[in-house]
Amino acid sequence: MPAREHPEEIKEELKDRRIAELEAENQRLRRIRDALIVRVESGVAHKPEPYAAFEHSVILAEQVRERTEALNLTMEELKGSNKALSRAREEAETTRQRLSDAIESIADGFVLFDRQHRLIQSNSRFRSYWSHAGVSPPEAGTAIEDVKARAMACGLIVEEHSHEDAEGTVFLLSNDRWVQMTERPTLEGGLVVLYSDITDVKNSEMARRIKALEESERWIRVVTDHVPALIAYVGADMTVQFCNKVYEAWYGRGGSPLLGQRLDQIHCPEFYQRLLPQIMEVLDGQNVTFELEETGEGGEVRYMLRSYVPNFDEFGDIIGFFVLIRDITDRRKTALALEQAYDNLERRVKERTAALSGLNSQLREEISERAAVEARLREAKQEAERANMSKTKFLAAVSHDLLQPLNAARLFTSALQEHAFGPKAEGLVRSVSTSLDDVENLLGTLVDISKLDAGVIKPDVTAFDLRDLLNNIAREFRQMALAENLSLDFVPSSVVVESDSQLLARILRNFLTNAIRYTSSGRILLGCRRRKDHVLLQVWDTGPGIPEDKLTEIFQEFKRIRPGGSQADKGLGLGLAIVDKISRMLGHEVTVSSVEGKGSVFSVQVPLGQLKPRRPGADNGLGSSLDDGLSGARVWVIDNDQAICQGMKTLLEGWDCRVITAVSLEDLERQLPIESCPVDLILADYHLDNDENGVDVVGEINRRRAVPAPVLMITANYTNELKQHIRELGYLLMNKPVKPLKLRSVLNHVIRG
């Protein structure tokens, strides 16, 4: 079929057709006129009667006059049509020129195809693409398929990208420019194609992605560089693609960078051959943990506990493996020293049994000391073994895997504190407990700051009474203040606010921790002031105060204002940075005012709220007071960590509970009939082995029982989704590491109904 003409050409065709019709009509009128004249002249030859001839001539004359007038009118119309035709031709030419100018002025490449998708017109921008590739642009009449095929064949198009959600196809041209092709149909069935240059957009998007990756890598390094372990990632080609500062300091001989180097280049041949069997195992898809003796650059001998964890891609292929190395030299030395001490002690006991019967008290003290050291050694070994459980995605699982040993150690120390071993052993236990508190605080701070930056923590805003929250915090920090010879005054309040109770409590705890840490003498005040539609929760102290130019700096990460002459503390300078991030997340304004030499006051503004009717069983029972009503309480403990089970059993049995521990549902079934055996509380960890979780296990247990048992879930997962899910099931919830005081409060609440 012929190509459809433009509207201007159709107008010209209609005008030519009208002119031809007018000329034919004019010719017909001339023939009529000549015929009439001939008829008049021929009539005279017949010689009619005079009157009839006169009458006939008059009629003919009238007809000639009318035809002549019609002819003149037609000629005038013809002249007007000719003028209109000329104007139409001029307008058509002007319109065509304007259209060409408009198409040429478009910044994008423009191509027009007819309804048969053959090229009609294009602008210079489209033709310039071809000139950059060194070929001539396609001519008019070329099919659209041939245009694309020719672009691919001559190398004009380097890459082609299309997506079903995108507006058009994106091409990378040979001149390194990106263009996006969009198509629009015309009314007559043709096609308009635009080629838009999006190179700047592509470059901007790439810059944003690179910046995001760099920021993510920066935070990963911040976390890993503060972990006292050697961390690295090795690709399948045996090159080091990531390592923290500790790893680089140990293996970077002479300060040479390690990234991009192969393992056989980093290690000496003999040491690499010792590592090779384990490397082959991890590349075969197995998790590997082993101990190895190494010699540092200075000649010192260290014992290292190495863990290799394979990394799989989405197709199940191994693309590398994670490396976690812990220095266990001190543990080995402690074990050796303990073994020697044990041998010496046994020898001394045998030699002096007969002669030193009067010194039994001293001997018991030495035995107690040895037992305490052995307990510390076992805890250190268990902690090291639990640290080996750090598998793939170490940072994502740090809140669970690293809190596990802390939880077990806290349970053991809490159980030990309830026994009398003598002043020296009790001092050792208290030292262990204090050290665990420091580790827990430092690790919790690092994990919290990482979760806040990653957006993992989501606020669970509800209306609640401040009474219990303030009472618990005041009771918790009053003992800490007394230990520092400070007095903590507390003004209670029962006002109802709208916030996330746990995140708000974290803000107040950080305020109080800083107040106790930097106040050497005097008092600390915790209270609140009501202001119209909000409440100001405040912590006052009589510390050294903060310079005015440092009031904003203290909320920055790793920033601490240390007064002159004060001792260095164990903090990381992240407490107030966490406060700032939490307050921004909750929309609570935090303010601080201070006078040097007199003290400071930290405030957080919280909106007022209104309590909703309580649902039956909604009380979590964490505020129950302690009593001695646990005697004979039957508790089932389900946790995949044997150390946690043993620590929990030791602690609960110290409270006169009857405890059954199991690592899984099958393990519990082997010990007792779960359908009929009486139980007062099921205490289950959320994360279990073999992709199981505690919620499913206790659900199966209660499904088999005629009367469901109360459930307390323990987890290191702080997400609101899990919290809401457990709340909807009617279970109680505690986060790791478990506070023994809070655990006993929950047990009292459950046992007393």
Q: Are strands 711-715 and 658-662 parallel, antiparallel or unpaired?
A: unpaired
**pLDDT of residue 177 exceeding 70:** yes
Within-domain flag for 469: yes
Domain range enclosing 526: 458-607
For 708, the token pair is: 């469901």
- Lowest-pLDDT range of 109-118, 390-399, 714-723: 390-399
Phi first, then psi: what are they for 614, rounded to 5°? Answer: -75, 140
Contact assessment for residue 698 and residue 684, using Cβ atoms and an 8 Å cutoff: yes
Within-domain flag for 376: yes
Q: Residue 753 is which amino acid?
A: G
The band of 281, judged by pLDDT with boundaries at 50, 70 and 90, is: very high
Q: Are residues 558 and 574 in the same domain?
A: yes
Neighbours of 579 (CB within 10 A): 25
Residues in CB range of 674: below 8 A, 6 or more apart:
668, 701, 704, 705
pLDDT in tens, 33-59: 777 777 656 654 444 566 666 677 777
Widest Cα–Cα separation across the chain: 188
The band of 614, judged by pLDDT with boundaries at 50, 70 and 90, is: low
**pLDDT of residue 220 exceeding 50:** yes
pLDDT in tens, 295-304: 877 778 888 8
Q: Are residues 303 and 338 in the same domain?
A: no
Q: Give the per-residue pLDDT at 443.
A: 60
For 539, the token pair is: 């912590």
The 3-state DSSP class for residue 248 equals helix
CA pair distance 717, 734, nearest whole angstrom = 10
Within-domain flag for 190: yes
Q: Give the per-residue pLDDT at 405.
A: 67
Q: Using the structure block, give the residue that is written with the tokens 């700032």.
A: 580
Of the candidates 396, 448, 400, 407, which has an alpha carbon nearest to the alpha carbon of residue 687?
400
Q: Is 541 exposed, middle or buried (0-12, 13-18, 19+ CB in 10 A)?
A: buried
**pLDDT of residue 216 exceeding 50:** yes
CA pair distance 634, 645, nearest whole angstrom = 15
Q: Are residues 311 and 342 in the same domain?
A: no
Mean pLDDT along residues 430-437 = 61
CA pair distance 444, 608, nearest whole angstrom = 30
**pLDDT of residue 572 exceeding 70:** no
Q: Are residues 278 and 353 in the same domain?
A: no
Q: Give the per-residue pLDDT at 434.
A: 60
Contact assessment for residue 143 and residue 118, using Cβ atoms and an 8 Å cutoff: yes
Residues in CB range of 377: below 8 A, 6 or more apart:
331, 334, 335, 338
| Residues found in the chain | 753
For 305, the token pair is: 């506990």
CATH number for the domain harbouring residue 696:
3.40.50.2300
Q: Are residues 464 and 564 in the same domain?
A: yes
CA angle 678, 683, 684 (to 5 degrees): 120
Cα dist. 223→161, 398, 443, 558 in Å?
A: 38, 10, 10, 13
Mean pLDDT along residues 539-550 = 83
SS3 for 532-558 is CCEEEEEEEECCCCCCHHHCCHHHCCC
pLDDT in tens, 489-526: 988 888 899 998 888 888 888 888 888 888 888 899 99
Q: Where is the domain boundary, 420, 451, 482?
A: 451
**pLDDT of residue 151 exceeding 80:** yes
Within-domain flag for 204: no
The band of 4, judged by pLDDT with boundaries at 50, 70 and 90, is: very low
The band of 234, judged by pLDDT with boundaries at 50, 70 and 90, is: very high
**pLDDT of residue 256 exceeding 70:** yes
Q: What proportion of the chain, given as a percentage, has pLDDT over 70?
A: 78
Q: Where is the domain boundary, 53, 83, 103?
A: 103
Cα dist. 25→33, 72, 74, 79, 81 in Å?
A: 12, 12, 8, 14, 14
Q: Are residues 323 and 360 in the same domain?
A: no
Contact assessment for residue 282 and residue 308, using Cβ atoms and an 8 Å cutoff: yes
CA pair distance 530, 571, nearest whole angstrom = 32
CATH number for the domain harbouring residue 579:
3.30.565.10
Q: Are residues 323 and 335 in the same domain?
A: no
**pLDDT of residue 84 exceeding 70:** yes
Contact assessment for residue 460 and residue 724, using Cβ atoms and an 8 Å cutoff: yes
Q: Are residues 303 and 292 in the same domain?
A: yes
Q: Give the per-residue pLDDT at 14.
A: 77
Mean pLDDT along residues 121-128 = 84
Q: Residue 507 is which amino acid?
A: I
Q: Where is the domain boundary, 87, 103, 119?
A: 103
Residues in CB range of 232: below 8 A, 6 or more apart:
240, 242, 243, 244, 247, 258, 322, 323, 325
Q: Are residues 471 and 603 in the same domain?
A: yes
SS3 content of the chain, % helix, strand, coil (to 5): 50, 20, 30
Q: Are residues 493 and 584 in the same domain?
A: yes
Angle between helices 501-518 and 466-483 (to 10 degrees): 20
Residues in CB range of 36: below 8 A, 6 or more apart:
60, 63, 64, 67
Q: Are residues 489 and 441 in the same domain?
A: no
Within-domain flag for 372: yes
Contact assessment for residue 624 and residue 748, using Cβ atoms and an 8 Å cutoff: yes
Mean pLDDT, rounded, of the chain: 78
The band of 307, judged by pLDDT with boundaries at 50, 70 and 90, is: very high
Higher per-residue pLDDT: 201 or 33: 201
Within-domain flag for 214: no
Q: Give the per-residue pLDDT at 692.
A: 84
Alpha helices (H) in 106-133, listed in sequence order? 124-132
Domain total for the chain? 6
Q: Are residues 271 and 287 in the same domain?
A: yes
Phi first, then psi: what are they for 31, rounded to 5°? Answer: -65, -40
CA angle 167, 169, 174 (to 5 degrees): 145
Within-domain flag for 613: no
For 565, the token pair is: 């002459």
**pLDDT of residue 617 exceeding 50:** no
Cis peptide before 616 (omega within 30 of 0): no
CATH number for the domain harbouring residue 280:
3.30.450.20
Neighbours of 378 (CB within 10 A): 12
The band of 6, judged by pLDDT with boundaries at 50, 70 and 90, is: low
Q: Give the per-residue pLDDT at 569.
A: 53
For 403, the token pair is: 């809190």
Contact assessment for residue 179 and residue 195, using Cβ atoms and an 8 Å cutoff: yes
H or E stretch covering 119: strand 119-122
Chain-centroid distance, C-alpha 664: 32
Contact assessment for residue 296 and residue 304, using Cβ atoms and an 8 Å cutoff: no
Contact assessment for residue 232 and residue 244, using Cβ atoms and an 8 Å cutoff: yes
Within-domain flag for 88: yes
For 257, the token pair is: 């960078």
